[in-house]
Structure 1
């Protein structure tokens, strides 16, 4: 009997995906709406950060420690201890973080979804998450997957003897794959440099913002650069990769050695018998990937990376064994049973060899990857390795702190940390900000600002520049701390140093007189400018404000770490430092997403900031009004005026001409005209251009403005 023609659409392709195939140049706004509430199965009023405060952490600890040695027959623990597996899961969740855009990391539980759940480097971590399911089931909504995945590795280290630095809860789960993270342009897993879509150019320049060397890897290739062993070349890759994860050389060596002090790699079998990853697996596999349905494929016969063996003599114990073996013995290149290249020691005493994971009477050689050998070969890494080898206490302390940093870097400032094990010490990478005053007279401050000679544009622009550094990806930046006044940021080109210095001179005096922090005064100044411009448009508004921001000092600021926050473009101020391969509208979209804005919020802010006159350098691009300084909806009205023609005059410049007379009325950039050309953005523009929505525009602008100003006020949540 022949099959009937299928009555439904094949492949489940969304309209957005299909549109991208037909119109590849179209701006995709999905990243602004990726966390639609309709994807969340929990109640609309559920607040995880409140729920986790009721978690019985002591009971959870006991359950986690017990889990480590509760070996399950469907996925038996190596040497009866799941520590190595749990640490790898946590590491590979947190290790996707990159400092350049703050994306990646452990804060969302994204490892449950594609592409991360099916990256080659994450092979068999699906088993680790399934082992955690009974604990997640027991603690339910009080414990997110994101927190549990991050916590598992820390508890694993504690169970094997490490005195950890602490742990903070508070990571909220997402419910579908993230759409805002660029993982690379390759179209095949583990594609070597030089292949199509390679992330390398020049000698070996890794594409920003990427940190990993290949599609599907967390860090570097364990077999060497492009799979060819050369520990010094691998060391060079490691240094770039770990710098982009915000780690220095000492932290890099500590993490490499500490991660490989326990557990093992798996390659004792035929890699060709390993089946599809979780996303490509059959229905009956129920989300499990990398299965071996031909042979046993578990325990000693597991194939994961293809590399086979433990790194140390006692792989379930926290000790200094990694450096003992690495530095005190000679090593040679070998092949694993699965065919992977690895290093093995020459003439290692039998009692130094780790035992088999199932048969404790049999011993095998340990192994090292090219990345491990880099710790011995690279001169700087070797110095650190030798120091750690001579002082295990120091190594343990550095590692514990680096592990804490790795697992918490994208959680945000300390104010967001929850739980009994939050360290009391404040760390510079947490971007500390002292508490600010709330006892001053806000109205008096507003009056002094309004009476100054500062223009609306100067007030609004300075407040925006202070707040726009915020990144919702890792909760860094923002107006709190007033770091815009510190030496590094006040000289950033995008902050217009001369204009900024003029404004800060006035606002600093007001802050000193009033007892307010400069951070608060800068935000108040922006609000004063908004209120003035709204009044010019015929609307009386009060921009919401909450006092309490503090002023960070130079000593509280890691300037090298803050370099990545320097803007090189800002579509909201119609500026880019130079021409880039990426279009201005795509950069605007990226900035809006990092500011946690929706597409309507992005739209209303652009329209308002254009007519207020906040463009970089005072340019008139996109200032579609004859009443600059007033918060009118003129940007939208004139953008939709069909008596106009839009004429390209350069790579990123346009003239708006009267169609009948050819007279030039305004000029514009792509960041302006995209709001008329993109069908979705135009639908928002048309709402704000309507005659009956002038007041709505002002209210929506004020709301979006306040959201940006308060983005880093985690104390208000």
Structure 2
């Protein structure tokens, strides 16, 4: 597919050159007319021939403009819909967002529509940026500490180093850059609100529950309030670590299992987390399939050069992390795994409550702010 764009460019150039021969033909007719100049009949014939050639030249010029423009337009459209989002470099960033008109402050429906418009891309992972937007919202919020009120989504401090460089946030530059055209189209929304709303919209667009969300987050001017690294979950750890991480934010065992259900989306990348592969065979659909796979498959350690992870013994195409396996080895966690595997509606309900709470941790909402 990469060779299509150059071919289209060449086609446009060839079409544009169709008008060129008319000039030389016209010069030849005029020269013939001057040499023949003996009588009125010859002059009249030359004049008629000249007018005919000029008409053809105009037609060819119009064709060149028309088809050349169409070729250029098709090439531009092709580049928009096949562009990937490089993580760095002078050409980094997603295609420009096409909007009919700028939104007015407070028009969150327009922001939602813009976010939904950038989700699908067949050239990225499994065809959707949805999973990485959910991860962005999660990691921007999951630094909260209930004890002192530090961290959380307010401030959008992942815009600054060192938070944007944490190993736990590897790969999230893709999500942040993807949302830049949305921010440009709706400059009145804060990054903190945009990132969390993007996670909510992604979940809903991928078939998940409606997650209550409300605006009111502001952006920090710098990274002065970045919390120490190490507050996000470590997938290499077990049940105690999960309780420590989520307990710091104020979550209980049911919340931990419900939020872990977000692993029904997306996949791991060796160049980001070090792990590899998807949890389910439907990584762009929000469902309770993660819990079903976790319960119903036999999981064995994956034989490879990477960190410890597990693969299904039957197909070796799915994977689970040590932190996922902890949901099976812990009796209380497993109780909720069983429940959610059998009852998707219960999972959706509990996930929506827990995820909404996660996105609001540490945010000083105005008293009258309503959830949208």
Q: Distance in 2 between matches of 1:261 and 1:248?
A: 20
Q: Give 1:145 deviation, angstroms.
A: 0.8
Which has the larger helix fraction?
2
- Tell me if the contact between 1:307 and 1:336 (Cα under 8 Å) persists in the aligned partners: no
Change (3 A) 1:416 1:312: farther
Please name the residue that 2:253 is paired with: 249
1:129 is the counterpart of 2:182: no
Please name the residue that 1:384 is paired with: 336
Q: Give 1:93 deviation, angstroms.
A: 0.3
- Tell me if the contact between 2:112 and 2:197 (Cα under 8 Å) persists in the aligned partners: no
1:222 is the counterpart of 2:235: yes
1:158-177 matched pairs, under 5 angstroms: 158-177=204-223
Specify which of 335, 339, 346 is matched with residue 313 of structure 2. 346
Q: Distance in 2 between matches of 1:53 and 1:169?
A: 15
1:193-592 matched pairs, under 5 angstroms: 215-216=229-230, 218-219=232-233, 221-224=234-237, 234-257=238-261, 259-267=262-270, 303-336=271-304, 339-348=306-315, 365-412=317-364, 415=367, 417=369, 422=371
Please name the residue that 2:105 is paired with: 54
- Tell me if the contact between 2:217 and 2:364 (Cα under 8 Å) persists in the aligned partners: no
Q: Distance in 2 between matches of 1:323 and 1:128?
A: 26
- Tell me if the contact between 2:105 and 2:189 (Cα under 8 Å) persists in the aligned partners: no
Please name the residue that 1:519 is paired with: none
1:42-81 matched pairs, under 5 angstroms: 54-70=105-121, 76-81=123-128
- Tell me if the contact between 1:85 and 1:263 (Cα under 8 Å) persists in the aligned partners: yes
Change (3 A) 1:182 1:134: closer
Q: Distance in 1 between matches of 2:342 and 2:293?
A: 13
Deviation digits for residues 123-156 of structure 1 (CA, Å, limit 9, x no counterpart): 011121011111111111x111111111111111
Partner SS, residue 54 of structure 1: coil
Deviation digits for residues 474-520 of structure 1 (CA, Å, limit 9, x no counterpart): xxxxxxxxxxxxxxxxxxxxxxxxxxxxxxxxxxxxxxxxxxxxxxx
Q: Give 1:413 deviation, angstroms.
A: 5.1
Q: Unaligned 5+ residue runs, structure 2?
A: 1-102
Choose between structure 1 and 2 for higher RCO, CA contacts under 8 A separated by at least 6 residues: 2
Q: Distance in 2 between matches of 1:368 and 1:262?
A: 13
Deviation digits for residues 198-255 of structure 1 (CA, Å, limit 9, x no counterpart): xxxxxxxxxxxxxxxxx45612x2123xxxxxxxxx1011112111111011011000
- Tell me if the contact between 2:146 and 2:250 (Cα under 8 Å) persists in the aligned partners: yes
Q: Distance in 1 between matches of 2:258 and 2:166?
A: 25
Deviation digits for residues 415-454 of structure 1 (CA, Å, limit 9, x no counterpart): 2635xxx16xxxxxxxxxxxxxxxxxxxxxxxxxxxxxxx
Please name the residue that 2:23 is paired with: none
Q: Give 1:70 deviation, angstroms.
A: 4.0
- Tell me if the contact between 2:142 and 2:358 (Cα under 8 Å) persists in the aligned partners: yes
Q: Give 1:167 deviation, angstroms.
A: 1.0
Q: Give 1:331 deviation, angstroms.
A: 0.7
Partner SS, residue 167 of structure 1: coil
TM-score (norm 2): 0.69
- Tell me if the contact between 1:83 and 1:160 (Cα under 8 Å) persists in the aligned partners: yes
Q: Give 1:335 deviation, angstroms.
A: 4.5
RMSD over equivalenced CA pairs, Å: 1.9
Deviation digits for residues 640-662 of structure 1 (CA, Å, limit 9, x no counterpart): xxxxxxxxxxxxxxxxxxxxxxx
Q: Give 1:412 deviation, angstroms.
A: 3.3
Aligned residues: 270
Q: Distance in 2 between matches of 1:137 and 1:237?
A: 39
Q: Distance in 1 between matches of 2:365 and 2:128?
A: 34
Q: Distance in 2 between matches of 1:374 and 1:382?
A: 9
Deviation digits for residues 172-213 of structure 1 (CA, Å, limit 9, x no counterpart): 11121024x551xxxxxxxxxxxxxxxxxxxxxxxxxxxxxx
Change (3 A) 1:380 1:110: same
Q: Give 1:54 deviation, angstroms.
A: 2.5
Partner SS, residue 309 of structure 2: strand
Q: Give 1:66 deviation, angstroms.
A: 1.2
Q: Distance in 2 between matches of 1:78 and 1:91?
A: 19
1:109 is the counterpart of 2:156: yes
- Tell me if the contact between 1:121 and 1:305 (Cα under 8 Å) persists in the aligned partners: yes
Q: Distance in 1 between matches of 2:141 and 2:230?
A: 15
Deviation digits for residues 519-547 of structure 1 (CA, Å, limit 9, x no counterpart): xxxxxxxxxxxxxxxxxxxxxxxxxxxxx
Change (3 A) 1:342 1:253: same
Q: Which has the larger radius of gyration?
A: 2
Please name the residue that 1:578 is paired with: none
- Tell me if the contact between 1:121 and 1:217 (Cα under 8 Å) persists in the aligned partners: no
Partner SS, residue 344 of structure 1: strand
Q: Distance in 2 between matches of 1:331 and 1:56?
A: 47
Partner SS, residue 249 of structure 2: coil
